[in-house]
Amino acid sequence: MRAFATLLERLAFTPARNAKLRLIGDYLARTPDPDRGWALAALTGGLKLRTVTPSLLRALAEERVDTELFALSYDFVGDLAETIALIWPAPDQGTDISLSEVVTTLQTTKKPDLPALIAGWLDTLGPSERYALLKLATRGLRVGVSARLTHVALAQHAGEDGPPADRIGEVWHGLAPPYPGLFDWLAGGPEPETQARAPFRPVMLAHPADAEALAPLNPAEFAAEWKWDGVRVQAVSQGGARHLYTRRGEDISAAFPDLVAALDFDGVIDGELLVRQDDAIAPFGELQKRLNRKTVTRAMLASHPAHLRAYDLLHWQRRDLRPLPLTDRRAALETAVAQIANPRIDLSPPVPFTDWATLDTLRAAPPDPVIEGVMIKRHDSLYLPGRPKGPWFKWKRDPMVVDAVMLYAQRGHGKRSGYYSDFTFGVWDGDALVPVGKAYFGFTDAELRDLDRFVRQNTTDRFGPVRQVKPDLVLEVAFEGLNASPRHKSGLAMRFPRISRIRWDKPAAEADRIDTLRAMLPANPLTSARGG
Beta bridge partners of 308: 273, 345
Number of neighbours of residue 193 by Cβ within 10 angstroms: 10
Minimum CB–partner distance for residue 75 and other proteins (Å): 9
Is residue 48 at the binding interface for other proteins, with CB under 8 A as the rule? no
Is residue 237 at the binding interface for other proteins, with CB under 8 A as the rule? no
User: 89 or 486: whose CB is closer to other proteins?
Assistant: 89
Task: Check 20, 135, 227, 377 and give the catalytic one.
Answer: 227
Is residue 19 at the binding interface for other proteins, with CB under 8 A as the rule? yes
Residue from 56, 65, 117, 196 in contact with other proteins (CB under 8 A)? 65
Q: Binding string to other proteins for residues 445 to 484, with x set by CB under 8 A, is what? A: -------x---x-------xx-------------------
Beta bridge partners of 427: 434
Active site residue 227: yes
User: 93 or 295: whose CB is closer to other proteins?
Assistant: 93
Beta bridge partners of 224: 376
One-letter amino acid for residue 449 of the chain: R
Indicate the DSSP class of residue 229: S
Residue from 1, 21, 23, 235 in contact with other proteins (CB under 8 A)? 23
Binding segment (CB under 8 A) for other proteins, from list 12-20, 138-146, 228-236, 367-375: 12-20
SS3 (DSSP) at 100: helix
SS3 (DSSP) at 63: helix
Report in angstroms the alpha-carbon separations of 496 from 312, 412, 420: 26, 18, 19
**Contact (Cβ atoms closer than 8 angstroms) between residue 181 and residue 189:** yes
Residue from 112, 190, 367, 418 in contact with other proteins (CB under 8 A)? 418
Q: How many residues bind other proteins (CB under 8 A)?
A: 38
Residue from 232, 411, 501, 513 in contact with other proteins (CB under 8 A)? 411
Side-chain half-sphere exposure of 273, counting CA atoms within 13 A: 30
> Per-residue DSSP letters for 238-305?
ETTEEEEEETT--B-GGG-HHHHHT--SSEEEEEEEEEEETTEEPPHHHHHTTTT-SS--HHHHHHS-
**Contact (Cβ atoms closer than 8 angstroms) between residue 393 and residue 205:** no
Report in angstroms the alpha-carbon separations of 128 from 158, 272, 353: 29, 42, 61
Is residue 117 at the binding interface for other proteins, with CB under 8 A as the rule? no
User: 13 or 216: whose CB is closer to other proteins?
Assistant: 13
Q: Binding string to other proteins for residues 310 to 349, with x set by CB under 8 A, is what? A: ----------------------------------------
**Residue among 202, 44, 61 at smallest CA distance from 123:** 61
Binding segment (CB under 8 A) for other proteins, from list 22-30, 149-157, 276-284, 374-382: 22-30
Where on the chain is the footprint of other proteins (CB under 8 A)? 6, 10, 12-15, 19, 22-23, 26, 65-66, 68-70, 72-73, 76-79, 82-83, 86-87, 92, 127, 411, 413-415, 417-419, 452, 456, 464-465
Residues known to be catalytic = 227
